[in-house]
Amino acid sequence: MATEPKPDVIVVGAGHNGLVCACYLAKAGLKVEVVEASSTPGGMTSTNPMAPEAPEHMINEASIHASLFRTTNIDNELELSSRYGLRMRLINPAHVHLGPEGESIAMWREAERTVEEIKRFSRKDAARWLELSNTIAHATAMGLPMMQTNPLRPEGKRLLEALKAVAKGRKELGRIIHWASVSQREAIEEYFEHDMVRGPLTVNLPFMRFDADASGWALIYLGVYQKWGVAMFEGGTGAFPAALIRCLEANGGRVRCSAPVEQLLMSGGTVTGVVLEGGEELSATRGVVTSCGPTITLGKLLPEGVLDEQLALRVKNIPTTSTGYGNIKVNVALSGRVEMTRHQRWRKDNLTGDSVDLRLPCVTWSTHQQSLDAGEACTRGQVPEMIPGLAQVTTAFDPGMAPPGHDTWWFWSGLVPSKPIEDWETVRETCEKVILDDCANYYDGLDKLEIARRTLTPKGIEERFNAPDGNVYHVDPIITRFGPTRPAAGLAGYKTPVPGLYLSGSGTHPIAGINGMPGMNAAKTMIRDLKA
């Protein structure tokens, strides 16, 4: 019997970065096979039914919005929208912050519209908003080209784009350096006085400890959504990996699910394939790319003794819980519609002609101080008394994700303890009560319509998605772990010191989130190496 030819490249992990990488490799003419531990592809971009209790309610298990993805050329280069059925729609406003008396501020893609809403609370803050937006816009223009290339061997065209942006924004360089070097807390308090403006900027992206120097860069989110906007995928986040798989298969590649990797296969000091749980060996002629956490690839899958002592020590010390902040996601299936009556009425009564449906954007309501207090509690290993986060009614965007007249709803927070002093089951129960009791004050009916619930604490994220310590970034997004030091010195740039082994995924340059840049950069690096 004829033996099926070996793939050129095996990609470990069918999350969106692994699939983006696989598509680029396949389009370059390589035979690619993707192996995925889960029974369904997509990783953190999976969309699956909430079975068995609510099988007709579809949930985006982990990831939510496609923001940075819109800054890339991946959609065009892989023809995902034009040929493979991917459909995105912008949400504008993407974020609304709620006040205790029904008031709100909508953060529009158009900064001037946001300013008009801020003026109701502070004219000074409105002016400073434009100033900060301009500063961050220039910083974003400088940084994004370098996010879309190898941090050790940047493409000439990307370097030129960055240099042009530096020249164009040279008058802002002083402000950029100051903003990026101070803490997130200091940057917010220096610019803004009113808590309706401060509140959403603290809770939105708690990458680092709020009082850590150089954490102010987390506000770069402003620059992204005001230039490119925030989109969601029709059919759920799982529509993204589904389109990638169609692209991969059209170019001769394939995905194999329920195929967890136990170890990397070695021959003569070179990685030549993978060993699946159960002992099955899969070989590749050109190499292996992994999209799981670097600590998993280099500390568990790679046989002991392959890395030299210094690099092995660096892998051991890659930080995954150093900030104390962990992530939690709560998905709820509902037997009816939830409404935001009080805040919806305020916008109708106070903003002439306002048409914002508060069920659609992400909403927040925590104060600046509540987020700071939550961060302090997390560093002590405690569940905060109030857990700040973002919430959204998924079915407001895509009604087809639930039966007619029903909703699916989620809440996400980056402010739960990553190393709790209590056991994870107790932490989960406490977090659920704190979150859902609080959210019921804003979403009418949330506490009465629940059919099913799925909560992912850091422990649950680790178990479901094989993310190290439940860290959705795979490597802590602290300032010393970016670019040429992500995930660690000597291990950046996608190509590892081990022949035949490449890294991709959230733990590699530039960052996590639905963007696909780690997958794209890793593939282009490997293609360039194979052509050399």
Residue 386's contacts (CB-CB under 8 Å, 6 or more residues apart) are 366, 370, 373, 374, 434, 438
389 and 435 Cβ atoms separated by less than 8 Å: yes
Closest CA to 522 of 153, 253, 33, 255: 153
Cβ count near 211 (within 10 Å): 14
What domains lie within the chain, and their CATH numbers?
Answer: 9-44+237-319+477-531 (3.50.50.60), 107-224 (no CATH), 321-465 (3.90.660)
pLDDT in tens, the chain (532 residues): 456 789 999 999 999 999 999 999 999 999 999 999 999 999 999 999 999 999 999 999 999 888 789 999 999 999 999 999 999 999 999 999 999 999 999 999 999 999 999 999 999 999 999 999 999 999 999 999 999 999 999 999 999 999 999 999 999 999 999 988 999 999 999 999 999 999 999 998 888 999 999 999 888 888 788 888 899 999 999 999 999 999 999 999 999 999 999 999 999 999 999 999 999 999 999 999 999 999 999 999 999 999 999 999 999 999 999 999 999 999 999 999 999 999 999 999 999 889 999 999 999 999 999 999 999 999 999 999 999 999 999 999 999 999 999 999 999 999 999 999 999 999 999 999 999 999 999 999 999 999 999 999 999 999 999 999 999 999 999 999 999 999 999 999 999 999 999 999 999 999 999 999 999 999 999 999 999 7
As a three-state string, the secondary structure of 86-105 is CCEEEECCCEEEECCCCCEE
C-alpha 429/C-alpha 390 separation (Å) is 19
Tell me which residue has tokens 């699916």.
408
- DSSP labels for 401-467? GSSTT-EEEEEEEEEEESS-SS-HHHHHHHHHHHHHHHHTTTSBTTTTSEEEEEEE-HHHHHHHH--
Cα distance between residue 450 and residue 464, in whole Å: 23
C-beta of residue 343 within 8 angstroms of C-beta of residue 102: yes
Q: How far apart are CA 325 and CA 371, in angstroms?
A: 11
Q: Do 472 and 461 touch, CB atoms closer than 8 A? A: yes
Q: How many CA atoms lie within 13 A of 357 on its CB side?
A: 11
Torsion angle, CA of 141/146/147/152, rounded to 10 degrees?
Answer: -170
Cα distance between residue 18 and residue 69, in whole Å:
15
pTM of the model: 0.96
Residue type, 488: A
Q: Which one-letter amino acid corresponds to residue 332?
A: V
Which residues lie closer than 8 Å to 198 by C-beta, 6 or more apart?
Answer: 188, 189, 192, 367, 368
Q: Are 426 and 457 contacting, i.e. CB atoms less than 8 angstroms apart?
A: no
Say how many residues make up the chain: 532
Cis geometry, peptide bond prior to residue 93 (ω within 30 degrees of 0):
yes
- HSE-CB at 425 with a 13 A cutoff on CA atoms is 0
